[in-house]
Amino acid sequence: MKPTYNPSKIRRARKFGFRARLSTRSGRAILAARRRKGRKRLAA
């Protein structure tokens, strides 16, 4: 069997990256919540 998780940095960045978060209203809410919590990293 081949591994089912085949990570791609580009796909990860496009789906969960900072710019992807900023592009939607809910994404901006996620970033705001993580800032409120004091997260060191805001997005992937």
Predicted TM-score (pTM) of this structure: 0.78
- Indicate whether 8 pLDDT > 90: yes
Local confidence band at 22 (pLDDT 50, 70, 90 cut-offs): very high
Give counts: helices (H), strands (E), the chain. Answer: 3, 0
- Domain architecture of the chain: domains with CATH: 11-44 (1.10.287.3980)
Q: Percent of the chain scored above 70 by pLDDT?
A: 100
Whole-number pLDDT of residue 44: 84
9-14's contacts with Cβ under 8 Å and 24+ in sequence apart are 12/44, 13/44
Residue 14 scores a pLDDT above 90: yes
Q: How far is CA 35 from CA 14, 15, 28, 40, 41, in A?
A: 21, 20, 10, 8, 9
User: Which letter, b or e, does each residue of 10-24 get, where b requires 16 or more Cβ atoms within 10 Å of its Cβ?
Assistant: eeeeeeebeeebeee
